[in-house]
């Protein structure tokens, strides 16, 4: 396996770097069309109620206004991932503050914004519900009184505000708790955090020939945008063309429709191209932040620190629509069990509507929330048993061939190596090196999302290779990674490859830039294409050499038979002149991950595909008077299967950790009766360069059977573990165990004063 690679494993600069550093790359916010108009949303000021009337007369008379669009202007249609509970514009009721009810289309963005304030909407306010604990009660006000009429996937079990009730059950938890030396129960709660991409969501829509919709946007998933827009506007997918611009960050926040549907509705009514860009306030009040979870976790252990059983009751707050929260409610159970060997499990989760911002799939959906609970509790238990937290983990982690909680057999398990290397690097032998200073460790596993990928690989007569993919580049450089896979296998230089991506009309289908799958899946589709190209190369060369194709061998960039040699470029020239060029359609779909369906009930996500393993260790100080946390050192040991481009893997790790530090310490969208109190970047605190520590990456390569050259998913995992690792280090430093995120300085001081330790 350790063949010397030419391209794989080398830190080449990304292929789109020059355009990005020179200001020439065209992002969604930059894109414009001749004669386009601008749209602005009119949103609900109340959390729950009926729309009594919409008066657009005054707005229509404002300067520059072309149209005001409401639900009446488009087909009455609800859509959604698991439950079809979303509308483009609220038609009869609103269920969160910030919900779009209408949109104004005007000549300039400023005129649209001005006129939007003149749209007069009257509401009749109803009782609202803001916490999952309340919303899950049988007599709670219904966020969607008509929930029973909504279509949903058959797997989900719904009732009132509860959009799914799922379970993962193994063995006999009650019996195991009785046999346990000690049983621990703790409650953990996590925060609403925004993906924080620096480019707001932006789209331009234009209708050609009446029923052909053309959209340019910074979506992560052009094919899903195409399908959803077709569903909304009652078109076939082929009537919708989605082109992806350069994307200014996504992190899952641009998976679902952002503003494409508003632009499409507005363009339909105005008869002109219309551009929408989310304002910062709209981002903070009506984008798709991470679901906050409440997790009650009970764990039974033996005296020598073996976990016998875990039970959990989980509430996932999806906000006003279920979105991907139904998926989070399933995948969080895989996170809560693991990555440990536990013979008895009873995990129960519910996804629940509240009258707040609809949530979405922020990087590693369910990962940080579940991991914060499991890994915080691991340290609490270790301390209670008098066992070192690293040792306690090592006694319970999964190893090669073990079964995951869903019964799937685990392969290429590198968790022990991750933990030991992270612990060694942070200097674990000194867990409390000085007063107020402590070290924390935490570990996790994560899935590499499946889904199909197609690429066209075309070799030109000048030897240039086009990699044409339906997958968008969201910034991770994963498509440069896929191109490195292609260059390696095809026998060309990386600099020969040009990427064409993200146009639903001209690129083959791809499940898209999500779930840490881009380099993994697009890379594999490239390998398939190379196999097909090499076969064609052999056939073409054989004809030129007057031999049989099987007599031709392929070496790096050349076809050979005896002393006869043709370069790839020469073969491509022959192919272009005689048979329409040298091109192949490569495809990939990950094999299904086999698991025990008896263990899962109503789960919409049931497996951990090509799992990756990771451990984080942190060394920090806490000021016990101010609660300020200062991170001295942060180490990540992450198994990536095969490091295709080490620099950008480090980039994923460093960026993910800092994003995780934000969730751990400072970020939270704060609600008061459904109203966001901090709808701007002044009060929503993302880490700056002053807050981010230097991060040391230890890249571990334990190859997967499925990924290209053994690669596993890389992008999401780094954001999972920081909250738990940091919580554990804070507890080690000053004995303050904070069980809710974010762990603000205020909470640390409060916890210290409650425990009496800070009293003089």
Partner 1 sequence: MTEVPLDLNVNGRRYRLSVPAHATLLDVLRDELEQTGTKTNCLEAECGVCTVVLDGKSVASCTVLAAQCNGRSVTTIEGLAEGQNLHPLQEAFVEMGAVQCGYCIPGMIMTAKAFLDENPRPTRDAVREAIAGTLCRCTGYSKIVDAIMVASQRLSQQGERP
Q: Which is nearer to partner 1, 248 or 515 (CB)?
A: 248
Shortest Å, Cβ 34 to partner 1: 12
Shortest Å, Cβ 368 to partner 1: 15
Q: What angle do CA 290, 292, 294 make, to 5 degrees?
A: 150
Phi and psi dihedrals of 560, rounded to 5?
A: -135, 145
Give the footprint of partner 1 on residues 527-586 (CB under 8 A): none
Coil, strand or helix: which one is 255? coil
Give the footprint of partner 1 on residues 30-89 (CB under 8 A): 30, 32
Q: Which is nearer to partner 1, 165 or 654 (CB)?
A: 654
Residue 262, CB-side half-sphere exposure with 13 Å CA sphere: 27
Shortest Å, Cβ 384 to partner 1: 34
Q: Which is nearer to partner 1, 277 or 566 (CB)?
A: 277
User: Near partner 1 by CB under 8 A, which window of 165-173, 249-257, 536-544, 607-615?
Assistant: 249-257
Q: Which is nearer to partner 1, 160 or 481 (CB)?
A: 481
Neighbours of 625 (CB within 10 A): 12
CA distance 333 to 654: 27
Shortest Å, Cβ 112 to partner 1: 14
Give the footprint of partner 1 on residues 2-31 (CB under 8 A): 11, 13-14, 16-18, 20-27, 29-30
Give the footprint of partner 1 on residues 663-722 (CB under 8 A): 680-682, 686, 688-690, 692, 694-695
Q: Are 749 and 627 in contact (CB under 8 A)?
A: yes
Strand 212-217 relative to strand 240-244: parallel, antiparallel, unpaired? parallel
CA distance 502 to 709: 25
Coil, strand or helix: which one is 189? strand
CA distance 17 to 23: 10
Shortest Å, Cβ 632 to partner 1: 14
Strand 100-106 relative to strand 65-70: parallel, antiparallel, unpaired? antiparallel
CA distance 91 to 77: 10
Interface residue with partner 1, options 39, 49, 100, 195 (CB under 8 A): 195
> Cβ neighbours of residue 500 under 8 Å, at least 6 residues apart?
466, 467, 468, 469, 506, 507
Shortest Å, Cβ 280 to partner 1: 4
Per-residue b or e along 396-405, where b marks 16 or more CB atoms closer than 10 Å to that residue's CB: bbbeeebbbb
User: Near partner 1 by CB under 8 A, which window of 70-78, 247-255, 381-389, 607-615?
Assistant: 247-255
For residue 23, give the DSSP letter. T
Interface residue with partner 1, options 259, 472, 474, 487 (CB under 8 A): 474
Shortest Å, Cβ 61 to partner 1: 17
Shortest Å, Cβ 558 to partner 1: 31
CA distance 692 to 654: 9
Q: Which two tokens stand for residue 556?
A: 């790096």
Sign of the C-alpha dihedral, residues 139, 84, 249, 7? positive
Coil, strand or helix: which one is 669? coil
Q: Are 713 and 516 in contact (CB under 8 A)?
A: yes
* 3-class SS string, 357-395: CCCECCCCCCHHHHHHHHHHHHHHHHHHHCCCHHHHHHC
User: Near partner 1 by CB under 8 A, which window of 196-204, 314-322, 453-461, 591-599?
Assistant: 196-204
Coil, strand or helix: which one is 599? helix
Shortest Å, Cβ 135 to partner 1: 31
Q: Which two tokens stand for residue 378?
A: 């691991």
Q: Which is nearer to partner 1, 403 or 692 (CB)?
A: 692
Coil, strand or helix: which one is 173? helix
Q: Can you say how many angstroms the Cα of residue 694 is from the centroid of all Cα atoms in its chain?
A: 24
Shortest Å, Cβ 16 to partner 1: 8
Residue 717, CB-side half-sphere exposure with 13 Å CA sphere: 30
Q: Which is nearer to partner 1, 546 or 682 (CB)?
A: 682
Coil, strand or helix: which one is 238? helix
Shortest Å, Cβ 669 to partner 1: 15
Give the footprint of partner 1 on residues 629-658 (CB under 8 A): 647-648, 650-651, 653-658
Shortest Å, Cβ 364 to partner 1: 15
Q: What angle do CA 284, 656, 664 make, to 5 degrees?
A: 65
Q: Which is nearer to partner 1, 480 or 751 (CB)?
A: 480
Q: Which is nearer to partner 1, 269 or 696 (CB)?
A: 696
Q: Which is nearer to partner 1, 190 or 476 (CB)?
A: 476
Q: Which is nearer to partner 1, 442 or 636 (CB)?
A: 636
Q: Which is nearer to partner 1, 559 or 719 (CB)?
A: 719
Q: Which is nearer to partner 1, 18 or 159 (CB)?
A: 18
Q: Which is nearer to partner 1, 25 or 500 (CB)?
A: 25
Number of amino acids touching partner 1 (CB under 8 A): 57
In DSSP notation, 467-521 reads: EEESS---SS-HHHHHHHHHHHHHT--GGGEEEEE-BTTTS--B--S-TT-IIII
Interface residue with partner 1, options 87, 126, 199, 488 (CB under 8 A): 199
User: Near partner 1 by CB under 8 A, which window of 193-201, 223-231, 290-298, 750-758?
Assistant: 193-201
Q: Which is nearer to partner 1, 250 or 460 (CB)?
A: 250
Shortest Å, Cβ 726 to partner 1: 15
Phi and psi dihedrals of 713, rounded to 5?
A: -60, 145
Give the contact letters, 725-754, x = binds to partner 1 (CB under 8 A), - = no. Answer: ------------------------------
Q: Which is nearer to partner 1, 578 or 647 (CB)?
A: 647
User: Near partner 1 by CB under 8 A, which window of 255-263, 470-478, 493-501, 539-547?
Assistant: 470-478
Shortest Å, Cβ 696 to partner 1: 10
Burial class (CB in 10 A: 0-12, 13-18, 19+), 432: middle
Shortest Å, Cβ 30 to partner 1: 4
Q: Does 235 bind partner 1 (CB under 8 A)?
A: no
Neighbours of 504 (CB within 10 A): 23
Residue 210, CB-side half-sphere exposure with 13 Å CA sphere: 0
First to last CA, the chain: 62
**Beta-bridge mates of residue 454:** 587
Give the contact letters, 255-284, x = binds to partner 1 (CB under 8 A), - = no. Answer: ----------------------x-xx----
CA distance 598 to 12: 46
Q: Which is nearer to partner 1, 82 or 634 (CB)?
A: 634
CA distance 646 to 477: 11
Shortest Å, Cβ 738 to partner 1: 23
Shortest Å, Cβ 245 to partner 1: 11
> Cβ neighbours of residue 178 under 8 Å, at least 6 residues apart?
none
Interface residue with partner 1, options 477, 635, 644, 732 (CB under 8 A): 477
Interface residue with partner 1, options 163, 359, 476, 602 (CB under 8 A): 476
User: Near partner 1 by CB under 8 A, which window of 468-476, 503-511, 581-589, 615-623?
Assistant: 468-476
Q: Which is nearer to partner 1, 51 or 277 (CB)?
A: 277
**Which residues lie near partner 1 (CB under 8 A)?**
11, 13-14, 16-18, 20-27, 29-30, 32, 195-200, 246-251, 277, 279-280, 474-477, 647-648, 650-651, 653-659, 680-682, 686, 688-690, 692, 694-695
């Amino acid at each position: 396996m350790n063949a010397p690679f030419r391209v794989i494993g080398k830190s080449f600069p990304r292929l789109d770097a020059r355009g990005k550093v020179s200001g020439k790359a065209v992002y969604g916010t930059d894109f414009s069309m001749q004669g386009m108009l601008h749209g602005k949303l009119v949103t609900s000021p109340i959390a729950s109620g009926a729309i009594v009337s919409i008066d657009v007369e005054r707005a229509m008379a404002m300067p520059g206004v072309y149209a005001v669009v409401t639900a009446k202007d488009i087909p009455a249609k609800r859509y959604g991932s698991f439950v079809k509970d979303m509308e483009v514009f609220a038609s009869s009721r609103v269920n969160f503050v910030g919900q779009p009810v209408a949109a104004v289309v005007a000549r300039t963005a400023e005129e649209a914004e001005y006129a939007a304030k003149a749209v007069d909407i009257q509401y009749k306010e109803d009782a609202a519900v803001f916490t999952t604990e309340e919303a899950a009660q049988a007599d709670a006000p219904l966020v969607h009184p008509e929930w029973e009429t909504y279509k949903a996937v058959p797997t989900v079990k719904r009732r009132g505000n509860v959009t799914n009730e799922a379970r993962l059950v193994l063995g006999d938890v009650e019996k195991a708790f009785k046999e346990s030396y000690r049983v621990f129960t703790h409650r953990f709660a996590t925060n609403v955090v925004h993906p924080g991409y620096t480019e707001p969501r932006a789209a331009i829509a234009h209708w050609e020939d009446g029923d052909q919709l053309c959209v340019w946007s910074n979506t992560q998933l052009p094919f899903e945008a195409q399908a959803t827009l077709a569903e909304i506007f009652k078109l076939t997918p082929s009537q919708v063309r989605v082109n992806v611009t350069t994307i200014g960050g996504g992190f899952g926040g641009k998976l679902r429709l952002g503003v494409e549907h508003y632009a499409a509705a507005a363009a339909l009514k105005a008869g002109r191209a219309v551009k929408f860009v989310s304002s910062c306030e709209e981002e903070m009040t009506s984008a798709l932040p991470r679901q906050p979870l409440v997790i009650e976790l009970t764990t039974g252990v033996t005296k020598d620190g073996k976990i016998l059983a875990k039970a959990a009751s989980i509430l996932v707050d999806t906000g006003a629509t279920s979105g991907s929260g139904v998926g989070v409610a399933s995948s969080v159970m895989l996170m809560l069990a693991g990555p440990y060997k536990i013979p008895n499990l009873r995990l129960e989760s519910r996804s629940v509507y509240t009258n707040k911002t609809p949530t979405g799939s922020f990087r590693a959906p369910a990962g940080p929330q579940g991991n914060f609970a499991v890994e915080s509790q691991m340290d609490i238990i270790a301390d209670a048993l008098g066992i070192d937290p690293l040792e306690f983990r090592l006694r319970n982690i999964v190893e090669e061939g073990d079964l995951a909680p869903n019964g799937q057999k685990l392969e290429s398990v590198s968790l022990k190596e991750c933990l030991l290397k992270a612990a060694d690097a942070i200097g674990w032998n000194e867990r409390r090196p000085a007063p107020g200073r402590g070290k924390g460790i935490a570990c996790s596993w994560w899935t590499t999302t499946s889904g199909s990928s197609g690429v066209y690989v075309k070799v030109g007569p000048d030897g240039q290779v086009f990699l044409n993919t339906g997958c968008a580049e969201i910034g991770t450089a994963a498509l440069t990674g896929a191109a490195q896979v292609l260059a390696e296998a095809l026998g060309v230089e990386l600099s020969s490859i040009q990427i064409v991506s993200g146009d639903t009309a001209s690129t083959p289908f791809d499940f898209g830039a999500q779930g840490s799958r881009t380099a993994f899946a697009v890379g594999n589709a490239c390998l398939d294409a190379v196999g097909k190209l090499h076969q064609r190369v052999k056939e073409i060369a054989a004809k030129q050499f007057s031999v049989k194709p099987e007599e031709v061998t392929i070496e790096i960039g050349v076809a050979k038979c005896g002393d006869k040699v043709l370069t790839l470029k020469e073969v491509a020239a022959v192919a272009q002149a005689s048979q329409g060029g040298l091109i192949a359609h490569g495809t990939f779909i990950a094999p299904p991950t086999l698991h025990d369906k008896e263990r899962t009930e109503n789960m919409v996500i049931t497996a951990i595909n090509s799992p990756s393993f990771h451990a984080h260790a942190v060394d920090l100080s806490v000021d016990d008077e101010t609660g300020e946390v200062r991170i001295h050192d942060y180490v990540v040991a992450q198994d990536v299967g095969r490091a295709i481009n080490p620099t950008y893997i480090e980039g994923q790790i460093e960026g993910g950790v800092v994003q995780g530090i934000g969730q751990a310490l400072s970020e939270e969208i704060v609600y008061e009766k459904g109203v966001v109190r901090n709808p701007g970047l002044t009060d929503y605190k993302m880490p700056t360069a002053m807050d981010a520590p230097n991060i040391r990456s230890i890249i571990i390569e334990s190859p997967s059977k499925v990924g290209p050259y053994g690669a596993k998913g890389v992008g999401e995992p780094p954001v999972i573990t920081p909250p738990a690792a940091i919580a554990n280090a804070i507890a080690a430093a000053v004995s303050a165990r904070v069980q809710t995120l974010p762990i603000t300085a205020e909470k640390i001081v409060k916890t210290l004063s409650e425990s009496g330790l800070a009293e003089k």
